[in-house]
Amino acid sequence: MASKFYVIFHGAWAFVDNVDNGEKFIYAYAPCIPNHVYMGGSWLGETQILKGTYLVLSGGAQGSDTVRNHYARMVTFPKKAGLPPAGVDYHLSVQLPRPVAIHPEMISAQVKVTFDANDEGQAPVALVVVFEYALSGLPELMDQQGKSFWKPPASPVDPVTLHFFAAEDRESDTDPAGDFSKVSALLGYPAASFVKPWTPVDHLQPISTPCMEGREFEIRTFLYERVDHLRSVGEQMQRMTDQGSYTWSPPLPIPTRRRKRILNLDLASCGGGGGGS
For the segment 264-271, the average pLDDT, to the nearest whole number, is 33
Structural domain boundaries of the chain?
4-217+258-276
Span 46-73, pLDDT tens digits: 999 999 999 999 998 889 999 999 988 9
What does the angle CA 223 – CA 227 – CA 228 come to, to the nearest 5 degrees? Answer: 115
* pLDDT higher than 50, residue 94: yes
pTM of this prediction?
Answer: 0.85
Do 140 and 14 form a contact (C-beta atoms < 8 A)?
A: no
- Give per-residue pLDDT as tens, 244-267: 555 544 454 444 444 443 333 333
218, pLDDT greater than 50: yes
* pLDDT, tens only, 201-213: 666 678 999 999 8
DSSP state of 268: G
End-to-end CA distance of the chain: 35
Peptide bond before residue 250 is cis, with ω within 30 degrees of 0:
no
Sequence-distant (6+) residues with CB within 8 A of 123 are 75, 110, 111, 113
Measure the CA angle with vertex 42, ends 40 and 48; round to 5°.
Answer: 30
Single-letter residue type at 98: R
User: Tens of pLDDT along 4-44?
Assistant: 999 999 989 999 998 888 889 999 999 999 889 999 999 98
